[in-house]
Amino acid sequence: MTDDEKWIAVQSNDSNYDRRFYYAVKTTGIFCRPSCSSRVPNRDNTLFFSTPEEAIDAGFRPCKRCRPDLVSYEPAAQEAQRVKKLLDTFYRDPDELTQKFSTSGLSEHRLCELFKEQYHMTVSAYLQNRRLDAAKTALTDSDAPIIEIAWDTGFTSLSTFYRIFKRTTGTTPNRFRKDKGDKTYE
């Protein structure tokens, strides 16, 4: 591949050339993938390298936008995974969850979009499923009052817990507990 072909790939941000070569900009001291969305540099200030290591050895540092030093870099997927981890950790505490979302640096709306793109479900649907699974386990594994289970699993009202539980499982929490209890002793 000639330098002219590489230059055309850089100008068009062509991801088909990623990991085939890297380009560095003399004036900034940074190297990038061909698909980097940074401003196209002046051709006279551009050098080409076969590997990230070659660029680093020549004194260039990796771009923070396209992360050419990493084999794969998918910031949206990484952010969605971080959101999922927050949901799994703080599903029982809606206030703490809201506070954690607010310190992420992205809007709650954007975090929800990223989550839906990655997991093909809304944050609220995921939270509801997570809370219901915890409630089902608590109903079958403990004698705790249903209201306590509702609060402990992150539901903010008993009526919401009953409505969602019945809509999802087809039965009430009390009936679910009795049916599961009866089945375990058969």
Q: Where in the sequence numbering do the catalytic residues fall?
A: 32
Helix (H) or strand (E) holding 3: helix 3-11
Strand partners, 47: 24
Q: Which alpha helices (H) appear in 17-107, and where do they start and end?
A: 52-57, 75-90, 94-102
Residues 133, 155: contact at Cβ < 8 Å? no
Beta partners for residue 144, in sequence order: none
What is the C-alpha R_g of the chain?
26
